Structure 1
Amino acid sequence: MSAGSRPLNRLAHESSPYLQQHADNPVDWYPWGEEALERARREDKPILVSIGYAACHWCHVMAHESFADPEIAAIQNEHFINIKVDREERPDLDAIYMAAAQALTGRGGWPLNVFCLPDGTPFYAGTYFPPDAKAARYRMPSWRQVLLSIAEAYRSRRAEVTASAHELLDHIKLLARPLPETAPLDEALLTTAAAQIGREFDHQYGGFGDAPKFPQPLILEFLLRAHLRGDVQALPMLHQTLEQMARGGMYDQVGGGFHRYSVDDRWLVPHFEKMLYDNALLAEIYHLAALVTGDPFLARIADETFAYLLRDLRHPDGAFFSSEDADSLPIAGAAHAEEGAFYVWTPDELRIALGDDATLVGAYYGVTRQGNFEGRSILHVPRPAAAVAAMLGVSVKRLEETVARARPLLRAFRERRPRPFRDEKIITAWNALAIRALAVASARVPEYLGFARQCVDFLLTNLRRADGRLLRSWKDGRPGPTAFLEDYALLCDALIDLHAASGETQYLAIAVELADALLDLFWDDQAGMFFDTGCDQPALVTRPRDLSDNATPSGSSAAAYALLRLYAITGRELYATRARHVLEQATPMLKRFPLGFGRMLCAADIAIGPTRELAIIGPSDHPQTQALVAVARAAYRPRLVIARAMPNDPMTLLSPLLSGRTMIDGRPTAYLCEQFACQLPVTTPEALQAQLG
């Protein structure tokens, strides 16, 4: 029976595009839920939990090689209860089982394949396994061998397997506990962290560490803060990294936006998937770096990245989709997708698209007959424009004008190719990152503010239940699971920036609601820490909690960051107390492993201070209000929070910073404060600029 005519399994009824990609597998897949767990208990079978996501290249490879193979599927169906999980919908399950894989093998990744007792306790884990035919080449056991070995161990050595599982679970639970030691939360902590980050810096290509190289926008944000505190190395490291990334193949030179990471150390060959969270975070850091340096190139990359988000990842009603795949068909009607096929070029394709301009453009973007990726070329900028112009005997102006003219032509030509698959899930946390980025960058490009408002309105309409509980995800009108700590914290944080940019007090009020719900759902008094899952969510084998920042901020660091900013506006001591408690638990790790705690370091920067609060009282659409706001937002001031209102707005009761404030002589007025002690109010942008410094 062909794959196209197979009966569909249970995953056909799921909203997740990743799960639907496995709906025609001969594997008897279940989504995570009580039905699968109850069957495992009833039949006393081990569980296989297989975790991935729609844009994952190696997930597709393993699905094609093994999960679509009827003989291998028969082994899975006979010996295991098989559960498929979309890691983007269920980061809680991914966190638990990734911790198991890392404890057992020392590494992780996706696809993540974990074998568990019938109650979900893991006892063996790995990532990609080749089918029989490729096992020798990879020097790994084949997936068939793994399945049969695990089934035999479970059948004949049950006591040993069970003891191993419980020992592993104890280890995972231990990882969630804070370290017993503490370290002072002071400026020396930030200095030490910045120095250690500097020791990992690649002085040739920018970035940190060796290949594969990830963009690490959270660390870059911390370097901006370190620069403001006087670190003379921070800004050069930041600037070189941003410039090298944007000139490499990891940046989409034609369509804007960044791929997931570079497989080499010079940002040339990317892993071609494009993620919403990467592009939201990177668009913001390029914008902020442009503010600090005045470099128009960085501003251009920020705007091209925003353009990518708004053009290719935006839902018609304003929210943003999750990702685009690494793989696509090389030509229409081709049988198999290839990694990067949508993005790579040959000299002949350039000639067809550009005519006589192809010679200049090809030289600028490093396109050659031999190529740099499987016989074709990833566009990148290997040499400065002046060097290319000199080599070709043309002026720099002519070269740059030709390249600028070519970009839209190349994009139009590329659109005739089969596009990569797009995962159209709407994820609250990732959309919150986009909202914040758009709101922050609206200081330079005012049109971004409308897009941020449309996005948050979508979330509050479609991903918030009638009882106020946030949802993690949404797809085509179908709600996903309830939201996690990172969803609440990142949306709360985004609303603070959206309030500052728009002046709408409703956004500040909702931020306070989310902060209060965050404390109720995720803070545990007995443990003295946040957990990533809410107290109202079904219990798992352990309650996950991760302090470290990875591609996105951890729930704990995002919560600490948002609560500290909201404390500066509202004066609610509990917000500061909880945030400082998180930071004090994390300080030993911030000193030892700063590269894993970018957003947590930014939160520490706020906690150490000094912070300043700016209240602006006046109609949002009044030109003088807008002039005061523009002065406050024209420079990078990461420890300044902005609150806005009209006089006598009931929402001013939320904040002692706003309460009782009036317009002086009927004119929009600014009150600049530190720890709620304010300077004299001012009514002109010049006077406010003088106070801000």
Structure 2
Amino acid sequence: MLNRPIHASNLVFRMFATYKNRLGLEKSPYLLQHANNPIDWYPWGEEAFKKAKESNKPIFLSVGYSTCHWCHVMEKESFENENTAKILNENFIAIKVDREERPDVDKLYMAFVVAASGHGGWPMSVFLTPELHPITGGTYFPPDDNRGMLGFPTILNMIQTEWKKEGDNLRKRGEQIIKLLQPETASGDVNKSEEVFQSIYSHKQSSFDSRLGGFGGAPKFPKASDLDFLIAFSSADSCGDKSKESTTMLQKTLESMADGGIHDHIGTGFHRYSVDGEWHVPHFEKMLYDQSQLLATYSDFHRLTGKKNEDIKFVINDIFEYMQKISHKEGGFYSAEDADSLPKNDSKEKMEGAFCVWEKEEIKKLLGERKIGSADLFDVVADYFDVEDNGNVPRSSDPHGELKNKNVLRKLLTDDECAANHYLTVEELKKGIEEAKQILWEARTKRPSPHLDSKMVTAWQALAISGLVKAYQATEDVKYVERAEKCAAFVRKYLEENGELKRSVYLGGEGNIEQGHQNMKAFSDDYAFMIQGLLDLYTVLGKNEYLEKAIELQKTCDQKFWSGNGYFISEQADEGVSVRMIEDQDGAEPTATSIASNNLLRLHDILENDEYREKANKCFRGASERLNKFPIALPKMAVALHRWQNGSTTFVLVGQFESELLVEARRRLNEKLIENLSVVHIRSENEIGASGPSHNAMSQGPQPAVYMCKGFACGLPIRSIDALDKLFNKL
């Protein structure tokens, strides 16, 4: 589904009969963006490595992604510059990597850049020996020397000179650096989960912005892993009164995000982050993984708070509508939309946010003389969305002046306040605002579209599946779970082969699905997130095919990535990646090990196989130092640790799926957010859910029946709606 020609910018490179460099033969939208640079770029692979060794030239490795703003800046300033290209081509082997295709390459060299400079980011610029060992590196480099920073040409000349003089020493030093980047294999005891929980909660509490929501100051990121931790904390039996404080922090943050400019009120969905502390002026990039995780977060919060806030339900649908806009017709979701776009069709230069922002007169002209009751629709909209004559973006949030006289729409008033200002009912207000939003959206579709990264990454399809399942649980609207199943079918058709997952596929010129030129093997996050998504589908639908596929993928994941105390990012090192890294921080996305540890515990709940539980324990022991000293780095693993130490709440539903008792049980399970929930569906003793001894015994008992097992003990079978009501009322 595409509501506008959103993918057109991906196809521009395909119109050229020839390319200036090898990247023109790639599928990655990011690599294709650089296909016409005068630089003799190579993709990551043996051809480049061999050339570097034969020519004895150092490697310049540039890593980024297609919707990265500063990647675009460095391309325009440096990679399109003929003089800079001449220096690079004569003295270096230039390699370009899409970090979303190769997270293993990105993680290895980002670890070096952070260790060397104290910070990281994209574009990542690293100089390597021909053996792929680090020399030096950084992020964005300006095109010339200014404001105390060395320009990119100066750095190139310095590295080239040093390589000629000190090449052997640089090789030796790089070899030592690579050894230092090897992940630690320590394993130890982990603190009680209550201590870990309290440490993370105290950190979030101390940084909470009670006035504006969120944590810390500018910039503010909607970090789903942290928000999900607070949801788990709020629902934990052991957290007492602090759970209410946690819920308050969540509500303020989620409502402020939904009201702020980080939320695209006209185009739907959420931007990457806000550059200020008010959730007002965003970095306008939109990522699928943000939408998917925030869909899950808002949905879980809706269940946590008893589904009492209709505005939260509205946000859930809003995110879903955006995801539909970046959806392939067969069910996959594209990766991201760029922050930058052309202000007008005849413009020469892209500007950040051009697709999303408004001048006051433009809105006034579009809305014309329309009325809401006795009020002018324009006056109401200007009040509702904080529209100002000279724009509402402060200069401090717009250092390059790209948003001068522009308005980033946001809500500063409640619906009641705005309605009262214009002598309207809230219902009249909402109707008028929806009419205005549709008019503004239609106008926006006539603007030049931002670039769409049409790559479809397995891990992010999986996050979408989980988010959609949770949206179904929160709203009972079947459109969400139907969409989740459609995405799962897409993965099965295009991103799985011979029982193994692939990393990504791409949108072809005719709207078809294309495979990459390289063998895009999946990474551990692809497996962990997909197993989670399949278990989520099994939880609400009870289809054995999802459980069986999750078990199969878990086996493959263990074979490919298990380190003994966690999950490596990649398979056995190849193509020059000499160090297999383990992701150790739940960042914009959670780590594979964090999600896998919870998956293992869920599989144990369903199958009663202690091997899963023991493997999860090894994950916690492998991360013991972080969980004990810096647990804020691993909030999702902390939730899994709490599950391991305190046990799950497992409902076993035995009997025909459509029996009145089991239908009601599933409805009640969706209605309430239950701490560490697992659900087992058993229609007969031959099903895989009945393979464990306790569940097998239940399968041979009376039917239909509902069993609740909590804290490693199971209750008597429940066989009536009245008894079911009493049970859920106690939860």
TM-score (ref. length: structure 1): 0.94
Counterpart Cα distance in 2 of 1:57 and 1:380: 23
* Aligned-partner Cα distance in 2 for 1:602–1:537: 33
Does the CA-based 8 Å contact 2:187-2:623 persist in structure 1?
no
The offset of 1:535, in angstroms, is 2.9
Which residues in structure 2 correspond to 1:487-636 (within 5 Å)? 487-525=526-564, 528-535=565-572, 538=575, 540-636=577-673
**Which residue is equivalent to 2:436?**
406
1:212 aligns with 2:244: no
Q: Which amino acid aligns with 2:683?
A: M
Deviations 1:188-239 (A, max 9, x none): 2212221222112122211112211111111111111111232232111111
Change (3 A) 1:256 1:649: farther
Q: 1:240 to 1:11 in 2, by over 3 A?
A: same
Cα offset for 1:506? 0.8
Whether the 8 Å contact between 1:439 and 1:449 is mirrored in structure 2 is: yes
Paired with 2:181 and 2:620, the residues of 1 have a C-alpha distance of 21
SS in 2 for 1:125: strand
Matched, 1:363 2:383: yes
Q: CA deviation at 1:685?
A: 4.0
Alignment of 1:432-471 (within 5 A): 432-443=462-473, 444=475, 445-466=477-498, 468-471=499-502
Compared CA separation, residues 656 and 177, structure 1 to 2 (3 A): same
Tell me by how many angstroms 1:180 deviates.
Answer: 6.5
The higher-RCO structure (CA 8 Å, 6+ apart) is 2
- Residue 224 of structure 2 corresponds to residue 223 of structure 1: no
* Residue 505 (structure 2) pairs with residue 474 (structure 1): yes
Q: Matched residues in 2 for 1:48 and 1:31: separation?
A: 12
Counterpart of 2:336 in structure 1 is: 323
Instruction: Report what 1:299 is aligned to.
Output: 313
Q: Pick one of 206, 209, 233 that aligns with 1:202.
A: 209
The one-letter code sitting in structure 2 at the alignment partner of 1:143 is F
Identity %: 34
Q: Which residue of 2 aligns with 1:49?
A: 61
Does residue 335 (structure 1) correspond to residue 348 (structure 2)? The answer is yes
Counterpart of 1:378 in 2: which secondary structure? Answer: coil
Q: Is the 8 A contact 2:235 2:675 kept in 1?
A: no
Query: Does the 8 Å CA contact 1:613/1:657 hold for their aligned counterparts?
Result: no
Question: 1:656, CA displacement in angstroms?
Answer: 4.4
Change (3 A) 1:219 1:341: same
Structure-1 residue corresponding to 2:89: 77
SS in 2 for 1:280: helix
Query: Structure 1 residues 101, 410: closer, same or farther in 2, change over 3 A?
Result: same
Q: How far apart are 1:168 and its partner, in Å?
A: 2.8
Does structure 2 conserve the Cα–Cα contact (< 8 Å) formed by 1:184 and 1:584?
no
Taking the aligned partners of 1:685 and 1:23, their CA distance within structure 2 comes to 64
1:319 maps to amino acid:
G
CA positional deviation for 1:393: 5.3
8 Å CA contact 1:613, 1:641 repeated in 2: yes
Contact 1:482/1:537, CA 8 A, preserved across alignment = no
C-alpha deviation, 1:162, in angstroms = 2.6
Classify 1:340/1:663 alpha carbon distance in 2 versus 1 (closer, same or farther; 3 Å).
farther
Alpha-carbon separation, structure 1, partners of 2:708 and 2:245: 31
Q: Distance in 2 between matches of 1:378 and 1:22?
A: 31
| 2:614 maps to amino acid | T
Which residue identity is paired with 2:155? V
Deviation (angstroms), 1:125: 0.9
Q: How many Å separate the matches in 2 of 1:671 and 1:37?
A: 59
User: Using a 3 Å threshold, how does the CA distance of structure 1 residues 646 and 592 change in structure 2: closer, same or farther?
Assistant: same
Over 3 Å counting, the alpha-carbon distance change for 1:223 and 1:652 in structure 2 is closer
Structure 2 CA distance for partners of 1:622 and 1:27, relative to 1, 3 Å: farther
Give the paired residue count: 682
Identify which range, 499-508 or 183-192, moves more after superposition: 183-192
Partners of 1:624 and 1:395 lie apart in 2 by 42
Query: 1:650/1:384 Cα in 2 relative to 1: closer, same or farther (>3 Å)?
Result: closer
**Mapped partners of 2:546, 2:55: distance in 1:** 51
* Closer/same/farther in 2, CA of residues 160 and 662 from structure 1, 3 Å limit: closer
Aligned to 1:486: 525
State the one-letter code of the partner of 1:111.
Answer: P
In structure 2, give the amino acid aligned to 1:349: E
Q: Distance in 2 between matches of 1:570 and 1:473?
A: 31
Q: What is the root-mean-square deviation of aligned Cα atoms in Å? A: 2.2
What whole-Å deviation, never above 9, does each CA across 1:477-496 have from its counterpart, x for those lacking one? 20451111111111111111
SS at match of 1:562: helix
Partner SS, residue 218 of structure 2:
coil
What code does the residue aligned with 1:20 have?
Answer: L
Structure 2 letter corresponding to 1:145: T
Residue in 1 that maps onto 2:720: 684
Tell me the amino acid that sits aligned with residue 454 of structure 2: E
- 5 Å-filtered alignment, 1:139-154, equals 139-154=148-163
> Which deviates more, 107-116 or 394-403?
394-403
| Residue 376 (str. 1) matches residue 406 (str. 2) | yes
Segments of 5+ residues of structure 1 without an aligned counterpart are none
Q: CA deviation at 1:146?
A: 1.1
Question: Shift of residue 46 of structure 1?
Answer: 0.6
Letter in 2 for 1:681: P
Say whether the 8 Å CA contact 2:646–2:711 is kept in structure 1.
no
* Cα distance in 2 for residues equivalent to 1:487 and 1:495: 12
TM-score, length-scaled by structure 2: 0.89
Return the match for 1:25 from 18, 37, 48: 37
Letter paired with 1:405: E
CA distance in 2, matches of 1:514, 1:4: 41
Does 2:277 correspond to 1:265?
yes
Q: CA-to-partner distance for each residue in 1:570-600, whole Å, 9 max, x for gaps?
A: 1222211121122133244234434322211
For the pair 1:59 / 2:71, whether they are aligned, the reply is: yes
Query: Residues 412 and 591 (structure 1 numbering): CA distance in 2 closer, same or farther, change over 3 Å?
Result: farther
Query: Cα–Cα, structure 1 residues 266 and 685, in superposed 2: closer, same or farther, change >3 Å?
Result: farther
| Structure 1 position 86, deviation (Å) | 0.5
Q: CA deviation at 1:186?
A: 3.1
The amino acid of 1:171's aligned partner reads L
Q: Of residues 401, 417, 429 in structure 1, which corresponds to 2:459?
A: 429
* Partners of 1:612 and 1:673 within 8 A in 2: yes
Shift in Å, 1:24: 0.6
Distance, in Å, in 1 between the alignment partners of 2:691 and 2:557 is: 17
Amino acid at match of 1:251: H
Counterpart code for 1:192: S
Shift of 1:658: 4.2
Q: Give the counterpart letter for 1:565 in structure 2.
A: R
Pair 1:100 & 2:112 matched: yes
Aligned to 1:644: 681
